[in-house]
Amino acid sequence: MDPIDLEQWLSSHPCALADVIWHVAAACAQIGRASARGALAGLHRGAGTTGSPSAAQQPLDVHADACMAAALSGCAHVAGWASARQADVTVSPEHGSGGAYLVVFDPLGGASNVESNISVGSIFSVLPHLFRGTPASAAAFMQPGRRQVAAGYAIYGPSTVLVLSLAQGVHLFTLDPDDRCEAGRWLLTRQHVQVPTATTEFAINASNQRFWEKPVQRYVAECLAGQSGPRGRDFNMRWVASLVAETHRIFTRGGVFLYPRDNKEPFKPGRLSLLHEAAPMAWLMEQAGAAASSGTCPLLDLVPDALHHKVSVILGSREEVERIVSYHEDPSANVSWQLFKTRSLFIQPQA
């Protein structure tokens, strides 16, 4: 029996949403091929700066951003999009008012790892355009993650894999490297992924240990104590510095990922973008039976106050995430709660 490809799989979903996903997947195929060519494609040297965050961009990052924008501009159902590499939203030149969906994406998460040939990836999220009939604006994107209708990422590693959910579980598609179709041929290689509820593996940037808040200090210390500690078993610690790679490892074998709020820059509520990174990954995790929290609130309940709203992120195997959340609830924990918590300054339209 021939494997199911993405186009066939999407045929059982709403046509407009399927078309959006097909265009995003086509862009990911182009990015994956460019990534596989590495320095041969001339995309491996630092160039320029970003439109919003001030970190230097890799040429591959710039190329990925352009691929996504070109693909979305050609989709009649996309009113506009918000890239992690741009300061403001982009309104579709042709479909800004009529499109039913908004797309949020990080064109190349983990771009700093390109030179080291470590897996990087593209993250995306699809939201309903609640103000349909008017051009997409930043306010239209200020929706909690639970309003997502689709989310996923493509990881560019030994193989290029698309991880996708349209609210019916998490499914994996692998790009056929022998198919030369410009849009790529994605073949279904794994269905209904479930993240194990328990794990003995966690990922965190230990260099920030001295800045962590008390609940995270406690959790990591207990894990590192191993069999002789309160957890009674040994844990392995991982850190790749690529959210896509960290998340993909959790989908393949379980684990928990932490990028917590810390006191290094105390006025920042976190380091990862809620719209471009945290919400899509939280959506995928919950679709796979895992959990995702800021430590004090489910990530999918948070409403962004700005396009580049940053949050702390804890996601992965449910038992570990729930344990870390319980540590944040300890009255003795020195936790800083966000002023508005789940409530945005924006007035939310009725879904």
CA distance 82 to 61: 15
Task: Give the mean model confidence (pLDDT) for residues 326-340.
Answer: 72
Q: Which tens digits make up the pLDDT trace of 85-111?
A: 999 999 999 999 899 999 999 999 988
Return the pLDDT at 243. Answer: 96
Q: Is the pLDDT of residue 244 over 60?
A: yes
Mean pLDDT score of the chain, rounded to an integer? Answer: 91
Q: Which tens digits make up the pLDDT trace of 104-123?
A: 999 999 888 888 888 999 99
Q: Is the pLDDT of residue 289 over 80?
A: yes
Give percent above pLDDT 90 in the chain. Answer: 79
- Range in 112-121, 231-240, 288-297 the model is least confident about: 112-121
pLDDT band at 48 (very low <50, low <70, confident <90, very high): very low
Q: Is the pLDDT of residue 342 over 70?
A: no
Delineate the domains of the chain, giving CATH numbers in brackets: 6-190 (3.30.540.10), 201-328 (3.40.190.80)
User: Pick from 161, 152, 126, 151: which is nearest to 35 by CA?
Assistant: 161
Q: Which tens digits make up the pLDDT trace of 54-69?
A: 345 789 999 999 999 9
Q: Is 242 exposed, middle or buried (0-12, 13-18, 19+ CB in 10 A)?
A: buried
CA distance 86 to 66: 11
Q: Is the pLDDT of residue 284 over 60?
A: yes
pTM of this prediction exceeds 0.75? yes
Return the pLDDT at 281. Answer: 98
pLDDT band at 147 (very low <50, low <70, confident <90, very high): very high
Q: Is the pLDDT of residue 24 over 50?
A: yes
pLDDT band at 53 (very low <50, low <70, confident <90, very high): very low
Return the pLDDT at 339. Answer: 43
pLDDT band at 130 (very low <50, low <70, confident <90, very high): very high
pLDDT band at 239 (very low <50, low <70, confident <90, very high): very high
Do residues 15 and 136 lie in contact, with contact meaning Cβ atoms separated by under 8 Å? no
pLDDT band at 340 (very low <50, low <70, confident <90, very high): very low
CA distance 310 to 317: 23
Q: Which tens digits make up the pLDDT trace of 164-223?
A: 999 999 999 999 999 888 889 999 999 999 999 999 999 999 999 999 999 999 999 999
